[in-house]
């Protein structure tokens, strides 16, 4: 497969957008072939968006279930030319920040999106609880061990670089774009439980369960595209049916509705 989709495919995507009505918006999903990415694609389609999906060439087959309904740009998500082509004309960009390898994959992906998304586009990024915007997080021993020990071991074997995901988010936080960084708990599969609850800081009791359905993480990201209250926020989320959410919902923690 070509590194880029053909021009007529892009034109077809624009035609489909027009066919769906003048108000139909287009979103780009960066990292669309992974588990979270495929849920993002489905949620976006369910809400009537025209979808452009970016994934590595070796992973294109994972998007077969969406054949004929989305436009695919095949290539590495940190390839600036790939991202420039994919986000062209998009009203929003949903980016799965994957800390793959030790070659600045996350920060390269984030920077490409920040540089090439159109002015005013809504940008939503995913990451984990270990990201902090203001240093006011209170982390459990489990998270501390994951980041300090497991993270270092993964980097030594050149599999994962959590520090680069931190760098990616620093660049997002410093940008003047309309960004949101959604910080996820541990994820599980299963039917949707509803829209997750969120707090500005890890350590809020509402987040103690540290568990969210992956399908609902994706839903939160897609819903955030339309929620201006989340612009320049870094919500840490948890499943709305988790024990901590049920115990503390309705108190001081904000909720996306």
pLDDT digits (tens, 9 = 90+) for 179-235: 999 999 899 999 999 999 999 999 899 999 999 999 999 999 999 999 999 999 999
Residue 256 resides in a domain: no
pTM comes to: 0.85
Residue 176 resides in a domain: yes
Residue 74 resides in a domain: yes
- From the DSSP assignment, how many helices (H) and strands (E) are in the chain? 9, 10
Residue 148 resides in a domain: yes
Q: State how many domains the chain has.
A: 1
DSSP sequence for 48-100: T-EEEEEE-GGGGGGGGGGTTTSEEEES-TT-HHHHHHHHTT-SEEEEE---B
| Domain around 188 | 7-248
Buried b (16+ CB within 10 A) or exposed e, 24-43: ebbbbbbbbbeebbbbbbbb
Lookup result for tokens 């990024």: 125
pLDDT digits (tens, 9 = 90+) for 108-127: 999 999 999 999 999 999 99
Residue 1 resides in a domain: no
Q: Residues with Cβ < 8 Å from 220, sequence gap 6 or more?
A: 182, 195, 196, 198, 235, 237, 256
Residue 257 resides in a domain: no
Phi, psi (degrees; rounded to nearest 5) at 180: -140, 135
pLDDT digits (tens, 9 = 90+) for 36-56: 999 999 999 999 999 999 999
Domain CATH code at residue 119? 3.40.50.720
Residue 228 resides in a domain: yes
Q: Report the half-sphere exposure of 162 (CA within 13 A, side-chain side).
A: 18
Is pLDDT at 23 greater than 70 in this prediction? no
Residue 76 resides in a domain: yes
pLDDT at 163: 82
Quick one: CA dihedral 213, 215, 221, 223, positive or negative? negative
Beta-strand runs (E) in the chain = 26-30, 50-55, 71-74, 92-96, 122-128, 178-184, 186-188, 197-199, 211-213, 236-238
Element (H, E) at 116: helix 105-116
pLDDT at 2: 41
């Amino acid at each position: 497969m070509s590194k880029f989709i053909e021009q007529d495919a892009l034109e077809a995507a624009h035609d489909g957008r027009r066919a769906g009505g003048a108000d139909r918006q287009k979103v780009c999903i960066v990292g669309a072939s992974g588990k979270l990415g495929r849920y993002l694609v489905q949620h976006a389609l369910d809400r009537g968006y025209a979808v452009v999906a970016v994934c590595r060439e070796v992973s294109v087959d994972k998007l077969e279930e969406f054949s004929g309904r989305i436009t695919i740009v095949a290539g590495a998500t940190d390839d600036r030319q790939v991202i420039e082509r994919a986000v062209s004309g998009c009203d929003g960009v949903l980016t799965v920040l994957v800390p793959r390898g030790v070659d600045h994959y996350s920060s390269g992906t984030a920077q490409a999106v920040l540089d090439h998304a159109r002015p005013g586009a809504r940008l939503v990024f995913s990451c984990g609880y270990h990201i902090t915007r203001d240093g006011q997080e209170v982390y459990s021993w489990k998270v501390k061990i994951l980041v300090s020990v497991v993270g270092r071991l993964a980097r030594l074997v050149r599999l994962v670089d959590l520090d680069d995901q931190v760098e990616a988010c620093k660049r997002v936080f410093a940008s003047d774009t309309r960004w949101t960084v959604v910080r996820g708990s541990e994820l599980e599969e299963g039917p949707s439980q509803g829209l997750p609850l969120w707090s500005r800081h890890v350590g809020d009791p509402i987040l103690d369960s540290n568990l969210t359905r992956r399908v609902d993480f994706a839903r939160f990201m897609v819903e955030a595209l339309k929620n201006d209250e989340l612009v320049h926020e870094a919500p840490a989320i948890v499943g709305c049916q988790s024990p901590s959410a049920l115990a503390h919902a309705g108190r001081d923690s904000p909720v996306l509705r």
